[in-house]
Amino acid sequence: MSKDIRNIAIIAHVDHGKTTLVDNLFKQSGTVRDNQRVEERAMDSGDLEKERGITILAKCTSVMWGNTRVNIVDTPGHADFGGEVERILSMVDGVVLLVDAAEGPMPQTKFVTMKALALGLKPIVVVNKVDKPDGNPDAATDAVFDLFVNLDANDEQLDFPVMYASGRDGWCDNDLDGPRENLHPLFEKIIEHVPAPKVVTEGNKEKPFSMLISLLDRDNFVGRILTGRVETGRVKVGDPIHALSRDSKVIETGRISKLLAFRGLERVPVEEAEAGDIVAIAGLTTATVADTIAVPEVTEALHAIPVDPPTLAMTFMVNDSPLAGREGKHVTSRVIRDRLMREAEGNVAIEVTESESKDAFEVAGRGELQLGVLIETMRREGFELAISRPRVLFKQDENCKRLEPYETVQIDVDEEYQGAVVEKMSLRKAELTGMVPSGGGKVRLTFDAPARGLIGYHGEFLTDTRGTGIMARAYDRYDAYKGPIRARQRGVLIATAGGKAVQYALFYLQERGTIMINHGVEVYEGMIIGEHSRDNDLDVNVQKAKQLTNMRASGKDDAIKMSTPKILPLEEALAYINDDELVEVTPESIRLRKRFLLPHERKKASRAAE
C-alpha cells in the first residue's frame, strides 16, 4: 500500500463526460498498457450501463501518479441513483466537478454537489468539452460560482480552481489557451488541491481498526464483498472482526477471509491495509451498507451519512395473466421476495415492504428510471412480474396537511416549441420560475413541478419538441399538495378474447386509435392492444378475420396497409398506464393489461371506487 494517498470522486450530470475522462486517466497514468485492449467507458461495466450509455452504480478504481496513489470513485450522474452518490462521498476527501462548457451545471449536478459541499469537500471544477462549437466556458464557470453560492458553500470552497478540458481528446489545462497536450495538469492539481485523508494526518493508524461500509457487492466464490475506507488502524487477512449497526449493536462476528484493493480496473488481493486506504473485505454474511466493521474491542459505530428517503413507489406482483409462466423461470412470490430483499440490502435508496396477501410487494425508490432499471435487471434474470403505475409517496406535516414531493425541472427547447411545453407543464400543475435564451435559437425553461405530474410526461415531451428537447429533473423538497392531476387524456383498446391478433382486424381498428401490438401476437381477454382516440375505454375483437366465400368480389379487395404499431419500451409503458392497469413483464415480452381482466369485474371495481 502506498503511504501517499488521494481519494476523490468525479461528479457530473449525465453525458457530461466523466466516464470518458476516467478512461483517459487510466491510459495516461500507465494503469492500462498502450497495446492493451480496453472497451470505451471501461467503468460502465454492466450490460444496462453499456446499452444506455449512463453510469448506474458507483465504482472504485485507482491509478498511480508518481509516488501517490489516486483512488477515484466514478459516480452516477442521474438523480434517480443519488443513493449511490450519498453513501460513497464519505470515502473521499475531494471532488472533481465536471461541467459541460455548453450546458453549464444542470439540476442533477446541483443535487450531488449539494451533498459534497455539505460534507466540507473541496471541489476542483473542470469545464469539459470546451471544443464544442456552442461552448461558453466563461458562462459555465460563472454559473458554477452562482450555484455554489446558492448552496451555501464556505469561502474555502468558493475559492475553487478552474480547469479546462476535453475528456474525449485526453487533455486538461489550467488556462483555456493552454498547450492542450495531456491530463498531467489535472493529476498535479488533484495532488496539490485535495488533502490527504484526515484519517492519515490525524494519526489514526495506531488506533484499533474500524471501517464504514459504503458499497456492497457479491461474488459467487467468496460471498459478500463490503467496500469502504479504513478510518482507523491497520487490518490483515485473518484478523477477527465484528459488524456494528448504526446504533452500535453487534450484528455478527467473523474473520477477514479476503482483503482486496483497487488497482486500475481490477480488485487485487493484498495482505494488509491501513487508515486512508479504500479496500473491499470478504468474510461477513449479514453486514450491509452503513454498518461499521471493526475489531472486537471497538464498541462504537462510525457515523453514517443519512440518505434521502424514497419519493416514488410501485407494486410488484406475481404475474397472474393467462400467459403467465410460459417465458420466465422465476414466477413465485417467494423467489420474487428474496430477489427484492437482496436488492434493498445493497441499495440504500430502495425500500421493500410486503403486502398482507404476501403475493405483492411495495417497492419505493427515487424515480421511474431507478425502478425501471431494477425491473429490467430482474426481467433479464428470468423473472415474471406484474407492475402497477408509479405513484408518489405523500407525507403529512405537524398540522396534518398533505405534502407531496416537488422537483426542479430544467428544459432546453427550440423557441418554436416553448409554447407547447409551457402549456403541457401548466396542465400538470408546474410553475414556470425562469426563462432565459440559451443561444442557437433555444430557450432554457425552469419549472417547479410536483413529481406526480411528471410521471409519463417525458415521451409526450419528446413528441411535442420533435425529439429536440432536453429535460433534466432533480428532487427538491416536500410541499403542499396541489390537487388532482389527470394522468392520461385518452382511453385504451381492450381485447375481448384470447388468441392471436389478426392483421385484418387490426387494420380496421386503426381508425379507432393507435395500435400497440404487431399482428400474430398472442393476446388474452383484458389485454390492452392500443390507445383509443377518445377518452373512454373500448372493448375490441382482434381475432375478426375476413369472411371467405366462393363468390367473386366486384373489383379488387382492399389492400391492407398497416401503419407501424407504437410499441412502448418498459419505462414508457410504466408511465403510460392508469391506476386500474398493470404492466406484465416477462423475459421476452412487455404487455399492458387491465388489473381486472373481465368486463363485469372492471365495472364492479369502478362502481366501488365511486
More confident residue, 15 or 303: 303
**Contact (CB, 8 A) for 501 and 543:** yes
What is the rounded distance in angstroms from the CA atom of residue 502 to the CA atom of residue 422?
Answer: 41
> What length is written for the chain?
610
Helix H or strand E segment including 576:
helix 570-576
Is the pLDDT confidence value at 38 over 60?
no
Q: Which residue has the higher pLDDT, 164 or 36?
A: 164
Phi, psi for 337 (deg, rounded to 5):
-60, -45
Provide the 3-class DSSP secondary structure of residue 304. coil
Measured CA to CA, the distance from residue 584 to residue 516 in angstroms comes to 14
Q: How far is CA 600 from the centre of its chain?
A: 40
Which of 115-124, 382-391, 516-525 comes out lowest in average pLDDT?
A: 115-124
Q: Is the pLDDT of residue 502 over 60?
A: yes
pLDDT of residue 387: 93
Q: Is 75 left (phi over 0), alpha (psi -120 to 50) or beta?
A: beta
Q: Give the integer Cα–Cα distance in Å for 143 and 127.
A: 11
Residue 412 reports pLDDT greater than 80: yes
Separation between Cα atoms, residue 152 and residue 110, nearest integer Å: 12
Say if residue 261 is exposed, middle or buried (CB neighbours under 10 Å; 0-12, 13-18, 19+): buried
pLDDT of residue 557: 57
Q: What is the DSSP string of 342-388?
A: HHHHH-TT-EEEE-TTSSEEEEEES-HHHHHHHHHHHHHTTB-EEEP
Q: What is the pLDDT of residue 448?
A: 92
What is the distance in angstroms between the CA of the first residue and the CA of the last residue of the chain? 68
Whether 173 and 163 have beta carbons less than 8 Å apart is answered as yes
Cα separation, 263 vs 245, whole angstroms: 30
Whole-angstrom Cα distance, residue 189 to residue 179? 16
Predicted pLDDT of residue 204: 67
Q: Nearest to residue 81, comparing CAs of 372, 327, 391?
A: 372
- Check pLDDT > 60 for residue 35: no
Q: What is the pLDDT of residue 336?
A: 92
Contact 104, 17 (CB under 8 A): no
Say which amino acid occupies 493: L
What pairs with residue 213 in β-bridges? 228
Q: Output the nine-digit C-alpha cell for 430.
A: 408546474
Look at the block and give the residue holding cell 395500435: 515
What pTM was computed for the model? Answer: 0.78
pLDDT at 233 over 80: yes
Which grid cell sits at 449? 413541478
Partnered with residue 101 across adjacent β-strands are: none
Residue 208: count of CB within 10 angstroms of its CB: 14
pLDDT > 80? residue 258: yes
| pLDDT band at 219; cut points 50, 70, 90 | confident
DSSP state of 178: S
What are the tens digits of pLDDT across the range 534-577? 889 899 999 888 777 766 655 555 667 778 888 888 888 888 88
Helix extents (H) in 121-272: 137-150, 155-158, 184-193, 198-201
Mean pLDDT of the chain: 83
Phi, psi angle pair for 117, to nearest 5° = -65, -35
Give 610 or 547, the one with higher predicted confidence: 547
pLDDT value of residue 363: 92
pLDDT for 40: 46
pLDDT cut 90: percent of the chain above it: 19
Distance CA 558, CA 370 (A): 47
Model confidence at 610, pLDDT cuts 50, 70, 90, reads: low
Range of weakest confidence among 204-208, 498-502, 568-572, 604-608: 204-208
Q: What is the pLDDT of residues 439-471, one digit of tens each?
A: 777 888 999 999 888 887 887 888 888 888 888
The grid coordinates of residue 597 equal 381482466
Please check whether residue 290 is in contact with residue 304, taking contact to mean a CB–CB distance below 8 angstroms. Answer: yes
Instruction: Give the residue ranges of the annotated binding site for GTP.
Output: 15-20, 128-131
| Pair 167, 21: CB distance under 8 Å | yes
CB 160 within 8 A of CB 113: no
Annotated binding site: 15-20, 128-131
For 365-379, what is the mean pLDDT?
86
Name the helix (H) or strand (E) containing 599: helix 599-609
Number of neighbouring beta carbons within 10 Å of residue 145? 15
Three-state secondary structure call for residue 301: coil
- Quote the pLDDT of residue 607: 84
In sign, the C-alpha dihedral spanning 391, 376, 500, 360 is negative
Specify whether the CB–CB gap between 481 and 471 falls below 8 A: no
- Tell me, what's the pLDDT at 78? 65
Helical H segments across 445-551, by residue range: 451-454, 457-464, 503-509
Q: Using an 8 Å Cβ cutoff, are 92 and 9 in contact?
A: yes
Q: Is the model's pLDDT at 2 over the cut of 50?
A: no
Distance (Å) of CA 604 to CA 118, 153, 516, 599: 53, 57, 27, 9
475 or 200: which leads in pLDDT: 475
DSSP conformation letters of 108-145: HHHHHHHHHHHTTPEEEEEEE-TTSTT--HHHHHHHHH
Q: Is the dihedral of CA 35, 38, 40, 42 positive or negative?
A: negative
* Cell numbers found for residue 442: 433555444
Q: Does the pLDDT value for residue 481 go beyond 80? A: yes
| Count of helix runs (H) and strand runs (E) in the chain | 16, 35
- For the chain, domains (ranges, CATH) are 4-196 (3.40.50.300), 201-294 (2.40.30.10), 312-388 (3.30.70.870), 395-480 (3.30.70.240), 492-609 (2.40.50.250)
pLDDT digits (tens, 9 = 90+) for 267-321: 889 988 888 888 889 888 888 888 899 999 988 888 877 677 788 899 999 999 9
pLDDT above 50 (res 48): yes
Q: For the residues 102-123, what does the mean pLDDT come to? A: 81
Q: What backbone phi and psi angles, to 5 degrees, belong to 339?
A: -65, -40
pLDDT surpassing 80 at residue 76: no
Find, among 168, 33, 149, the residue nearest to 100 by Cα. Answer: 168
C-alpha to C-alpha distance for 173 and 180, rounded to whole angstroms: 6
Taking alpha carbons only, the member of 554, 588, 563, 550 closest to residue 503 is 563
Structure confidence at residue 373 (pLDDT): 87
H/E element holding 413? strand 402-414
